[in-house]
Structure 1
Amino acid sequence: MKAVVLAAGKGTRLRPLTNDKPKALVEVDGRPILEHCLDTLAELDTEEFVLVVGHQKEQIISYFGDEHRGIPITYAHQREALGLAHAVLTAEEYVDDDFMLMLGDNVFNANLDEVVAAQHDDHADAAFLVEEVPWEEASRYGVCVTNDDGDIVEVVEKPDEPESNLVMTGFYTFSPAIFDACHLVQPSDRGEYELPDAIGLLISSGRTISAVSTDGWRVDVGYPEDRDRAERLVRAERGETTVDFEAADASATSHVEDDD
């Protein structure tokens, strides 16, 4: 499968770390966030990376070039920051089959292979890595409602009264049907084309979306303190320090997903 990675963000909330670089090149444990993403995806037998770039894209292209770990890289330019659904459409011309989608500001050590397997084995139109958060925090995320079979039947972006505390993370698999849905999405109140709205269109058209619960951890690096948390977890995995992983899991999903 190809892997689409959204890496066009400015990282305004990560300042001063992003004063002279794009969000994707902020370092976690001495390596850019985006490099952690590509390393993780390389372990999933990725056949090609499609990097959606925008803000200071030249720095990203200069750093990675045309391949990573022997896997070719194609760059898609998102000229305006108009939301995640818009960013996904930027990659459409380079994808013609099922693909992985990763938000390029996340650091993972989790069961992403199970999401890929669900896409294949369940003949699903999409599969999401999801995780539970404290109920009082669920309203900050894209909340998933599942049926008795564990399929996602509704996604609500930042609901006032969440029906579930199960939320989307930054890793998905999709069939090309997601592109059709993204084309139909209308701008939200904040003037962006939202990925959860496209997912809702998939569901309403009868498409099947599998949910895979997170086994492990991930950190959405939205603020400097998130970068520090991700570094502690990465180093703990190497045995260089100790971390209460149960406590870390509870706080690793830290901020709303976007492409700032």
Structure 2
Amino acid sequence: MKAVIPAAGRGTRLRPLTDDRPKALVDVAGTPLLTHGLERLADLDVSAFVIVVGYRKEAIIDHYGDEFAGVPITYVHQREPKGLADAALRAESEVDGDFLVFNGDNVMLGDLDAVVERQRTDGVDATLVVDEVSRDEAAETGVFVTDDDGRLDAVVEKPDDPPSTRVLTGLFGFDPEIFHACHLVQPSNRGQYELTDAIDLFLRAGRRVETVPFDGQRVNVNTPADRDRAASLVGQS
């Protein structure tokens, strides 16, 4: 199973740390941010990395070359940061079976094997790794409503009154048919092609979308304060 890693962003909120380097190479506890994700994915025995690059892409390519921990790397280019659905589409020609998507600005510590196991289950078209958060945090992101078996019923983006406190963690498993949904996505109010909208289309088409709970700790690194929290988390591991 291949892993697609969106890592094309400028990291504007991380300035000045990203003034001279891409977000993926910002230092977190002495190691580039992207390396933390690649290490976790290598632990899952992925067959190849497909890294989506954009801003200062040459620095990422020069740093990692054509393999990481023995896993081959292919690079695809996202010219402008148009959202995760658009980033996933950049990798469409490189994917020939079920695959993972891992947001390159995540630091995650915990068991991630469940997403691979669930995605390999017969009849499962997509698997979302979700986490429980506070209601205030849930109101600021997309939340997911599931049935008692963990099967997704609905996606609600930034609700005023969250029907759930389960949110995306940035790790997904997909059947290649998700690319068709990504092609159909229209720009959001932010002008972005949202992966959550593609997932919603997938669900409406009758696809089987399931969730697995994240058992661990994570930081989505968007600001210098996030970087410091991620460094502290890594230091505790």
TM-score by length of 2: 0.98
Q: Deviations over 1:114-171 (max 9, x none)?
A: 1111111353101111011111221111101101221111112212221111101110
Cα displacement string for residues 213-234 of structure 1 (whole angstroms, at most 9, x for unaligned residues): 1111111001111111111111
SS at match of 2:82: coil
SS at 2:139 equivalent: helix
Quote how far apart the aligned CAs of 1:27 are. Answer: 1.0
The amino acid that maps onto 2:47 is E
Correspondence list, 1:74-89, <5 A: 74-89=74-89
Q: Which runs of at least 4 in structure 1 moved beyond 2 Å after TM superposition?
A: none
- Aligned residue in 2 for 1:185: 185
SS in 2 for 1:86: helix
Provide the C-alpha distance between the structure 1 equivalents of 2:132 and 2:122, rounded to a whole number of angstroms: 22
SS of residue in 1 equivalent to 2:210: strand
What does residue 110 of structure 1 align with? 110
Q: Paired residue for 1:160?
A: 160
Q: Tell me which amino acid in the other structure corresponds to 1:20.
A: D
Task: Tell me the residue number matched to 2:96.
Answer: 96
**Counterparts of residues 42-61 of structure 1 (less than 5 Å):** 42-61=42-61
State the match for 1:250 in structure 2. none
Deviations 1:168-198 (A, max 9, x none): 1110100001100000011111211111100
SS in structure 1 opposite 2:168?
A: strand
More displaced, 156-165 or 196-205? 156-165
3-state SS, counterpart of residue 140 of structure 1 = coil
Q: Which residue is equivalent to 2:14?
A: 14
Flag structure 2 segments of 5+ consecutive residues without an equivalent: none
> Which string of whole-angstrom CA distances, capped at 9 and with x for unpartnered residues, describes residues 201-251 of structure 1?
0000111111111111111001111111111111111xxxxxxxxxxxxxx
Partner of 2:170 in structure 1?
170
Displacement of 1:46 in angstroms is: 0.8
Provide the C-alpha distance between the structure 1 equivalents of 2:28 and 2:123, rounded to a whole number of angstroms. 36
Normalising by structure 1, we get a TM-score of 0.89
Is the counterpart of residue 37 in structure 1 residue 37 in structure 2? Answer: yes
Q: What is the letter of the counterpart of residue 196 of structure 1? A: T
- Equivalenced residue count is 237
For residues 85-130 of structure 1, the C-alpha deviation after alignment (integer angstroms, 9 at most, x for no partner) is 1111000000010001000000111221111111113531011110
Structure 1 residue aligned with 2:207: 207
- The answer for unaligned runs of 5 or more in structure 1 is 238-260
SS in structure 2 opposite 1:45? Answer: coil
Q: Percent identity?
A: 57
Q: 1:68 maps to what in 2?
A: 68
- Which residue number corresponds to residue 135 of structure 1? 135
Aligned to 2:4: 4
Question: In structure 2, how many angstroms separate the alpha carbons of the residues matched to 1:110 and 1:4?
Answer: 20
The corresponding residue for 1:120 is 120
Structure 1 window deviating more from structure 2 (47-56 vs 140-149): it is 140-149
Q: Tell me the SS of whatever aligns to 1:121.
A: coil
Q: After alignment, is 178-187 or 152-161 more displaced? A: 152-161
Residues 164, 194 of structure 1: alpha-carbon distance in 2 compared, 3 angstrom cutoff: same
Q: What displacement does 1:48 show? A: 0.4
Give, in whole Å, the separation in 2 of the partners of 1:167 and 1:6.
19
